[in-house]
Each structure stands twice: as structure tokens, then as C-alpha cells.
Structure 1
């Protein structure tokens, strides 16, 4: 494919979860990349797992776009920066096209990005057209076309194409003998998928895609306001960040902000029993999957001793969701077995089959609300009083509790740091809390 001036963009959406948005987005990203285009992928809505896989598919970091959590101005800057630097922009939607407030459709309309609808055609043919027209007209949105997923073959694809009438069938993907596996919080971690690169290449190879339809898309605008300056309030401070398969839920924008605020980032692995770096001025324990690594964390004596020492020295520690679970007294896994954790926070975490929390929330701070979200399958029973509670954006009711024990701040709440840099600086010791 010849490279044109400017970037074309689409929002890859569907009528519901489970239609194959991530598979199609990954396949298209890899296909365009192999054609020599510079590709940038974004994820609509709070998510950690899908962006990891899409980063592997596209070869570039995947940032979050969310009109509420990220904000319209920062979303616009991310998009327009990408438009200046790349040839193709893919935005993977969240849930169904019109689900949530704001929805993926709202994002598409805000920035004039056409929608590419992924429709699971495995159990239908002509009805695909009715679904596509409903997705287009309900909002409405600018529908660039349809990618039919789990198609039986050329004849099936032809029936789907005929049903779409005035909507183009931009592509189709056959049923996969080896689909991308799933876990309760999305896709499994990319490093856990054996032969992932070959799987992504196979998806790209099997994606029947209309290059002419892609080149007919309009070029995204490239003008945008300048990024706001961030005060270097963490200048000279070292922030130690846990980063491994148990602590992997890290927004790239959060790390970018810490560096813009002047922090030096040092990564360590509790799973590998690596201690908190001795020169750390603050510690960030992000979310992840500690419940899948209970035995390793329980036996990580150096890690546990080092986080206790950091706490005893009053080093600021921010523990989010999985990070909080790892510093509780104990964690009971899905099989009912209890494992001792670091014990900075009194109480017990127990895994459960049903959701314990879901949705966008805002945590009040002395510097104003810090925006973010929650998503967890565990319950925390603690005698520690809550220092504050987040507010659910959907209802205005009480959300996740935030606990303070000495220099430790812990919650199930996942913060999007750029929504309130002063609050994040305060949590990490850069200003008075």
C-alpha cells in the first residue's frame, strides 16, 4: 500500500462485547504495519489487557481515549499528535458502540472519526445488514463499513456483503481455530500466549481487507492545542514501580506524566523476589493479577521485607487494586487457600466469582478529584477505617474506599494520573498531602 500524506482513522466498534473487536483491531494493525504504514492504536475506555496485545500488534504504545477519564482536550492532543506522526490510527471501542456514558459513539462523533463495525456473522447471513444499519442509524454515526467476523467462507461473505446494501463490507475474518484466549479481566497477558507473534501474523494473513475502502477514508486533522506544561514537582525523586505479571496494569500516560514531573522511574519485580530499590523516594504498586501468583508472592521474602522497611521509613507507597491486595495481611485464592502477603494493611482479601466493583469513579483529594475506574473480582475485609471514598460517576453514590496507614495509600481504585497531576504528586511525596 502506498503511503499518503496524513493519517486515516477509524473506530473499531461492535454491537456488544465478544464480537471480536480486539482480534479485528490486532489483525488490521498488523496487516497495515506489514504494508509499510506507521500504525498507532488507541483503546476507548479504561482497559489494561487489550492495550498490551494491541501494542504487540502495532509496535507502538497504546494510550487510552475516554471523554470523561482522559478528557476531551487530552484525547484530542493524543489523536492529533498521532495524526502528525503516523499513517493509520485505529481506536478499539469498548463494549457495544452505544454502551456507557460517554460511549464509543460519543468519542467517534466528538472527533469526526468514522466507525468500522465488527459483526459476528457466525450464526447469521442477511441479518448482518439489519445489525449494521441499526448501528449506523441509532446514533447516528458515520459508518465507514463492516468487518464481518467468524465467516464460514467466500460464499458466506458474499451473502453478508449483499445484505449491507449501501454499507461497504470492508473486510472479513474467518473462524479461528485458535482464537485469542480470554480471562476474567480481558485477554490474557501477551507474554502468556505461546507463539503470539505467529498468531498475530496469521490473523493479518487471514483478514480479507479492502485496501481501496481504507484509502477512501478521510485524513484526520492534524492541528491541536499545545500540551500543557507540567510542573517538575517530582524533580530529583526516584519512584520505584512494581512491574511484572502480577503488577502489570500501567497506563502509559501515567508513566509519561511521572517523567514529565521530573521523576526517575525504577522498575522491580516482586515475583522475582526483587526488593524495592534502596534509593526509592516513593513506591507505586499498580494493579495486576497477584491472585494468580499467590505462592510466589508469599515466598518472596526479600520483596516483603523491603516493602515493610520502606513503610517503616515513611516512604510514600501508593497501592492500587492488585497492589493493595499484595500488601494486605492475607490473600485467599479462588480455590479457598489463604496465602500470607506483606501485611502493611490490616485485613484479608478473598477472591470471588462475581464482580466486586466496576465502572468509572472519581477519588476526592485535597487537590481536587482524581479520575479513574475500578474493576475487581475480590473482596477486602479490613478493620482499617476508610480515609475517603470515590464517587461513582454513573449514580453519584459511594464508590471504592481509600485507606491510609502511615505512608501507605491503598484502594481498589485505579487512577488516571494526568487527570490531576498535583494530586498524584502529593500521593508520591512531591507536595504536602
Structure 2
């Protein structure tokens, strides 16, 4: 178990950053299997996911039995990342951080995050079709920057013992072969057009895949090896995270959460509760009425897969329409935006009647879509977030603003406002600006009275 130092602002814990040379190498499969193995051994493992992904964390949370948060230096900020790692180090036997994309891709990249917190990296690489070349690639990664440390290689899709021997014999002495993972479809995690299939939909199937992966890694002693890596010293941020105290006290927020609306950052829920809000979850698919609440949050998800069910639930649609007409605050993100439009056309070209809170029609298109980091320039203040969708909308009203892209001058996602509804394709990361988020969910008079917090 991790131990605190003499100062309460420092904690020590073994930690490993699971990285890869590219997407699709098996990072999530390996991270989930390792988390399950440690959990089976009675260890407390805390897992984090690099970047804005909202699907992988749900899978990793099921595997580890612990909440999984995103770490992103741009979207969340260094102070937030530092605070989360520090808190995890105080309770965990091992911290796992899964990277995103290729290790050096993006700005900031996975390598930037690992370097900032001095996290040693285990490189997961799909070695199908190569042997000694895998050793050359990982050696190149290790030498590309002098501020990263490679703890070893996990060779995924390894065909045989001979295949393993060829790779291991070519590795430099400083980079051990930590484990090999066979080409086993029973371990692979199911995917669909926006990423992995949601954990809640295939919970039992995931359990079998986690256990299969845990058995493979246990036979090679991977957990024991990683628990023996030199521990990392984690420090709490000096200034902490700026929070308007009890800004949402006595406020109840209804949160849509079901198979159609599930792209929810755990950090967003934590932030709302830390501000004093009570959260009440409901299903736009199956519930006939809203819970008693003062504000609504309609997050992203897969409404296109449940268009018929959403359209047929007339009592829920009427309840949300009445809530809107009463000028109560509503935040709709991505899938929530599609739900607020007049119609939604699914992948089978079936048209479904939606809420009609905003003029316009939504429609699914091909596999390519908009994605990337953006800042939402809201009247309440700027909030950083992320866009990732395969749909388009048209016939919509004039937006009040557009997102600002992280690195590109072109306008980002449109931001709409009607009555107290704020809607956009952007998924906002609430901890980036707690004051602005609090204002979104308050009445107009209360939002006006709420003053910005220094550093928010």
C-alpha cells in the first residue's frame, strides 16, 4: 500500500504508464487485464486514461473496481492532474495510466504527460508480422526523448514461444520484455463507430475477457514485476483547484444516463457534487417522467442507436419540453444536442422525431467525423472540452458562439442557446472552469450573483 511522506503534500506509489507506438496496439485490452489481475490479487489499483476518452474509462473502471478519471494537461490542467494522481497514490498499491494514440502524437502528448509526472512507461506493441524489428522500434522510442523512461515492452499478438525469443534476444539490456500476449480473440474488446462498445451493454462478456487476460498476464508474473518498479513521488498542487464554495448548494440536477446517453466524465459528476448539487439520474428511453430537479444535463452518447425508443417515449419528451418552456437550465452535449433537435436520421435512414427544443435536423454520416480539443466561449466563461462525432446537423439557428480549436484558427463547434438551453457538439470538462459550469446550472439571478474564483 502506498505510504505518505512526513509532509502530507507528498505520497509515494509504484506507477506505470501504458503507452504504444500507435492506436490499435491493444493498450486498453492490456491495461484492463492487468487491472483485473491486480484486483484479483487483492491489490488496490487506480487507473487513469490519457485524453478526453469517455468509453475506455468505463471499461477500465469495471476491470479495476475503482473510478477511472481522465488526465489531460490541456483539457484538465496540470494542477488537476497532479491532484488526482496524488490522491490515488495515497490509497493505491499501483497506479496505471493508459496513454492515447501513439506515444508522441498530439500536443500535449502521452509522452508529455509521462514526463511531467516522471511515470515509467511500458510499451504495448502489436508484433504481428515482425520480430527483431519490434525491438528496434521500442529502442527508438526509448531514445527519442531524454525525459522519458521505458520500463519494458509488452508484446501483443505474439504468435509463439519462438516469436517471443526472437524479440527478446534483440532487445537492448536496458529494455526487458515484460510480457507477451497471444493472438486471442477472447481477450479483445468489442468496438463500434465511436470507439469501444459501452461497458454497461456487455458487462458479462467483458468479465470473461478480463479474466482471460488476467490469466495470461498472471502466468508471466507481470503484476509482481510492476509492483517492484521504483516508486514515484507524487506531490499535491501548491495552489489546489479553484472552486466556488457551495455554489450549487440545495440545487438538484437531473442527469440523463442510459444506453443512449452515457458519455459522462466521472470528474464532471464529482465536480457538481463538490459544488453542493444533488444528482438524480433518469433514462430518456424508459422513464415516463423527470425526477424532481432544478436543472437538466443531457450528455452525449448513442441516441442514433435508440432513435425509435426516444421518439416513442412521448411522456418523457413532453416533460422535457415543459421543463424547457419553464425557462429552467438545460445543458445538452453532442448526443444531447441531437436529442434537442426536431428530427434525427439514423444510419438506416430512418427519421425519428426528437424534442424540438431547437430548430434543425440531425443525421448520421460515414465513419469520418469531427473531433479534437476546443474551448467553448460561453457567456459564463471559457470551458475547455472535446468534440468527437459522426453526425451532422442542419437547419439550426444562428449560434451564439463557436468553439476555439486548440491549434487551428478555423471556427470550432457551434454553440446554441434558446431560453435557458445551452447546446453544442462539445463535451465540456467541468473541472476546467467550475465557476462557469455552476452558472450554467443556476437560475439567471443566482448565476449573476456568482463571482469568478481566481484561477478558475
In which range does the TM-score fall when normalised by the shorter chain? over 0.9
- Equivalences for 1:3-402 in 2 at 5 Å? 5=3, 6-140=12-146, 141-166=148-173, 167-178=175-186, 179-193=188-202, 194-207=204-217, 208-211=220-223, 213-225=225-237, 226-277=240-291, 279-402=292-415
Aligned length in residues: 430
Please state whether the residue corresponding to 2:360 is helix, strand or coil.
Answer: strand
The structural deviation recorded for 1:345 is: 0.8
Please state whether the residue corresponding to 1:324 is helix, strand or coil.
Answer: helix
Please state whether the residue corresponding to 2:423 is helix, strand or coil.
Answer: strand
**Matches of 2:2 and 2:320, distance apart in 1:** 52
Match of 1:423 in 2: 436
Q: Is the 8 A contact 1:238 1:263 kept in 2?
A: yes
The structural deviation recorded for 1:229 is: 4.4
Q: Deviations over 1:161-197 (max 9, x none)?
A: 1121221011111111332111121110112224221
Q: Deviations over 1:130-189 (max 9, x none)?
A: 110121112242001010101112222122211212210111111113321111211101
Q: Is the 8 A contact 1:230 1:260 kept in 2?
A: no
The structural deviation recorded for 1:276 is: 1.7
**Matches of 2:429 and 2:340, distance apart in 1:** 21
**Matches of 1:181 and 1:409, distance apart in 2:** 33
TM-score in terms of structure 2 length: 0.91
Q: Is the 8 A contact 1:273 1:301 kept in 2?
A: no
Q: Is the 8 A contact 1:355 1:378 kept in 2?
A: no
Q: Is the 8 A contact 2:295 2:441 kept in 1?
A: yes
The structural deviation recorded for 1:17 is: 0.6
Please state whether the residue corresponding to 1:280 is helix, strand or coil.
Answer: coil
Q: Is the 8 A contact 2:139 2:172 kept in 1?
A: no
TM-score in terms of structure 1 length: 0.96
The structural deviation recorded for 1:273 is: 3.2
**Matches of 2:395 and 2:435, distance apart in 1:** 29
Q: Deviations over 1:89-143 (max 9, x none)?
A: 1011000000000000000000000111001012111111011012111224200
Q: 1:39 to 1:383 in 2, by over 3 A?
A: closer
Q: Is the 8 A contact 1:84 1:222 kept in 2?
A: no
The structural deviation recorded for 1:274 is: 3.5
Q: CA RMSD in A?
A: 1.5
Please state whether the residue corresponding to 1:117 is helix, strand or coil.
Answer: strand
Unpaired runs of at least 5, structure 2: 4-11, 451-456
Q: Is the 8 A contact 1:330 1:348 kept in 2?
A: yes
Q: Is the 8 A contact 2:2 2:91 kept in 1?
A: no
Unpaired runs of at least 5, structure 1: none
Q: Is the 8 A contact 2:242 2:434 kept in 1?
A: no
